[in-house]
Amino acid sequence: MTPFLPDEIIIWEILVHLDPRTLFCCRAVRRSWCLVTSTRRFLLAHHARQPALPIFPGDGQYRNILAFDHRATAEYQLHTVAPFDQDFDLEASCDGLLVLSKFESTTASRTFSVCNPATREHAYLRLPPWNFKTLAMYPHRPTGEYRLLLQRNWRGFTGLPKDQTCYIFALGSNRPPRSIAWPETFSAYLLNLPARLHDSLHWHPKRCQSDSEPVVIVFDRVNCKKPPQLRILIPKTVIIHFFSKNHQHCSDSFQKALIGH
């Protein structure tokens, strides 16, 4: 009778429940553990068991990413999840993956990369040397891809975007970003971070004009085979901020206008 636990139990009953820092240390124990914990199946299972924590750049040098854990004591609520030896901007995150960008002074453009803090693995993204603004990152279940929703950051003398086209880019793809329609009416809005509800992304955008009517912009069909669609919702009340929690939308002033639309 063997005194050791089978790898199947160690991996799927123990390692999958560890926090990212402890998991990273365990990967160095055995090569087989390192290989298995790098697979897509394990990474998704491990991430599903981790708490959803807000993340943000940790200092003015943009060399670390911090997470805020409200469950911890005050001393340990902030902790580093991704230290870097160079300056990076955090562009987007999804399912434990971080998309980062770095400004290249020689080309006056940004290079993009994706990293997994749990495994310390990273890869460069083959995006054209355009000045992109990252609007969102999301999983596309029909293809198993992670995708970026991008907008070219061309600005005129008014400071407003000139190129009213959005692009979709699949992480790891060799193909250039694919353009999708960007309605002309959206030019009056500046998009910030989205909140995800079911198969759609939602923005409560900043208005470029003070007299603009408050709206919610929705990016539909992120998880179906039909062409994606951008549309505008007119909420029934004035919204200050909104966010997603437990697969529902919440706002500072009113909830029914956004939940289950």
- Answer whether 202's CB lies under 8 Å from 185's CB: no
Is 148 part of any domain?
no
Is 219 part of any domain?
yes
For the chain, the domain total comes to 2
Is 94 part of any domain?
no
Is 91 part of any domain?
no
**Torsion sign across C-alpha atoms 122, 97, 166, 160:** negative
**Torsion sign across C-alpha atoms 174, 175, 176, 177:** negative
- If one counts every other C-beta atom within 10 angstroms of the C-beta of residue 97, the result is 19
Q: Which of 259, 226, 260 is nearest to 243 (CA)?
A: 259
According to the model, what pLDDT value does residue 122 have? 87
Q: Is 80 helix (H, G, I), strand (E, B) or coil?
A: strand
Is 167 part of any domain?
no
- Kindly report, residue by residue over 43-72, the tens digit of the pLDDT: 889 988 888 888 877 766 567 788 888 888
Per-residue pLDDT, averaged over 63-83, amounts to: 81
pLDDT at 252 over 50: no
- Answer whether 78's CB lies under 8 Å from 65's CB: no
Choose the final residue of a domain: 12, 32, 49: 49
- Kindly report, residue by residue over 101-155, the tens digit of the pLDDT: 888 888 777 889 999 887 888 899 988 777 778 888 988 888 888 999 988 765 5
Is 40 part of any domain?
yes
Is 58 part of any domain?
no
Beta strand pairing status for 200-203 and 195-197?
Answer: antiparallel
Is the pTM higher than 0.75? The answer reads no
d(CA 107, CA 92): 23
Which two three-digit tokens encode residue 20? 């990212």
d(CA 81, CA 6): 30
Q: Which domain holds residue 226?
A: 184-261
Is 147 part of any domain?
no
Which two three-digit tokens encode residue 196? 């995800």
Cα–Cα distances (Å) from 85 to 17, 63, 82, 142, in that order, read: 29, 6, 10, 36
